[in-house]
Amino acid sequence: MMGRVLGLCAAGLLVACGDAPAPKTETTPNTGPEAAAAPAEPYPETLRRRASAVFGVLPDEAANANNPVTEEKIVLGRMLYYDPRLSKNQDISCNSCHALDAFGVDGEATSPGHQAQRGDRNSPTVYNAALHFSQFWDGRAADVEEQAKGPVLNPVEMAMPDEESVLVVLNSIPGYPPMFAAAFPDDEDPVTFDNMANAIAAFERRLMTPSRFDAYLEGEASALTPQEVAGLEAFFETGCIQCHVGPTLGGISFQKIGRNVPYPTDDQGRFRVTGNEPDRFFFKVPSLRNVAKTGPWFHNGGVDSLPEAVRLMGKHQLGQELTPDQVETIVVFLGSLTGEVDQVYIATPELPESGPETPAPDPS
């Protein structure tokens, strides 16, 4: 779904809370009793071990005990994700703005919704998003289950008038009620708005994109090129890891856009949700997974060059004027975060046919 308020760092890329200490470039000393016999660990391995501790490894699934993933939910959720009949004019699906065959984005600064309306925030990728600590740029949804409900009822996005209207559509399509019953066998009335969202979320919880970077973190040092390793070192040295950490390299905190140098934006960020002054201009730090494929970048999609995004974040978030070489080497490293998409898992399903009672599109 469009989720335009769901990319790159605290409304941009590489936002950092402060400078991180630069990793040492000499070999690691061995001061134990076996020092005379054991050679010092080479620096590249020290860097790899440090990166493994900071980022961890991307899991196969973002599990939720309150919504266990089952094959029945996945099959149903995949269909719902692709089904435009969940929109008022039956022309917009989740996949319209989060295209699974394009790394989960539509490549636009902001996405067109009902009657070509556009919001004011970029639609970020859905891949790996279930691992984030909250959803939307302002964090107003706790998880993908809650997030999946928002765009369907948003008048600018899919524009369905209310939950009941969604249920009328779902119940009117003969193929859906049996699928809901299979996915939610313990529910007396399984076709509900919550279950629609739970099925979509279950499907999304396995939208993971492991990359060569994960192989590197797990011990395969040759998985990254020397240039990418140098970019990883620069990523540490410039302080990017202060916010871009964990398996998704982000998505676990809010940060202020323009922390060191004010960033020109009228968007008040999380303040629009909480009304708390300390939240003004704060946004969720997005994941850097697949970042080379998910532009344009920042909360408003206002930057269409990844090197420029890196340069601007160095200035506004780190308070540094990054050199062209620093920008270039960080961008090279970011390319190693482009992951593998399971083409079978995301294959467009054959949707169940509409029934005679299925409401017609409403272009109003």
What is the greatest pairwise CA distance in the chain?
83
User: Beta strands of 144-269 (E only): which ranges?
Assistant: 254-256
- Residues 6 or more apart from 174 whose CB is under 8 A from it? 352, 353, 355
- pLDDT tens for the chain, 364 residues: list them: 433 333 333 334 433 333 333 333 333 334 444 444 444 556 799 999 999 999 998 999 999 999 999 999 999 999 999 999 999 999 999 999 999 999 999 999 999 999 999 999 999 999 999 999 999 999 999 999 999 999 999 999 999 999 999 999 999 999 999 999 999 999 999 999 999 999 999 999 999 999 999 999 999 999 999 999 999 999 999 999 989 999 999 999 999 999 999 999 999 999 999 999 999 999 999 999 999 999 999 999 999 999 999 999 999 999 999 999 999 999 999 999 999 999 999 999 999 999 999 999 999 9
Helices and strands of the chain, counted as H and E runs? 13, 2
What are 112-118's contacts with CB under 8 Å, separation 24+?
113/2, 113/154, 113/156, 113/157, 113/158, 113/159, 114/87, 114/88, 114/89, 114/155, 114/156, 114/157, 114/158, 114/159, 115/89, 115/159, 115/363, 117/155, 117/156, 118/156
Active site residues: 157
Q: pTM for this structure?
A: 0.89
